[in-house]
Amino acid sequence: MTLKIAFDIGGVLSKYPDQFRILIDKLQDPGRSDLETGEPAVEVFVISDMHDVDKMYQMLRDNRIFVDKSKIFSAPYQEQGEFCKTYLCNQLGIDILIDDFIGYVAEGNFIRLLSMPNASLPYYHDTWKTDGNEGDFGRRRKKV
């Protein structure tokens, strides 16, 4: 059996890139295959409500997070609302979804892991590279 795990970008990968980069690299290690079937033990997916898979793929590469482009998906928020990631996880047979928005992990027949927002950290880590179109969104921080 191959375990399918999906990560959100904004607020998850973008907030904790150093930690999740290591985790994703380890999960995708070719040495981690099923001994009986030879299939990968884990398949890593990225599911975001961002709209352009090409831009998501480039953003991940720019931040040294390497996931096969065929495993990157834009959740259909316009059609499914807050069920968009549940819908996509069901379609893809995802076993685990890690997201920071409770609405996206509220439903589903898979393990739903909520990455609790840390308000003292920006949405985008200081090292996170974007195309610059977000302005100061995600870069603001408040000291407590």
Across the range 66-76, mean pLDDT stands at 97
Listed in sequence order, the residues at least 6 apart from 119 whose beta carbon sits closer than 8 Å to its beta carbon are 142, 144
Q: Can you identify the CATH homologous superfamily of domain 3-114?
A: HAD superfamily/HAD-like (3.40.50.1000)
pLDDT-based confidence at 8, cuts 50/70/90?
Answer: very high
Domain boundaries, the chain: 3-114
Instruction: Give the model confidence (pLDDT) of 17-49 as tens digits.
Output: 999 999 999 999 877 777 777 788 899 999 999
Percent of the chain with pLDDT over 70: 92
Residues in the chain: 144
Q: What is the pTM of this model?
A: 0.90
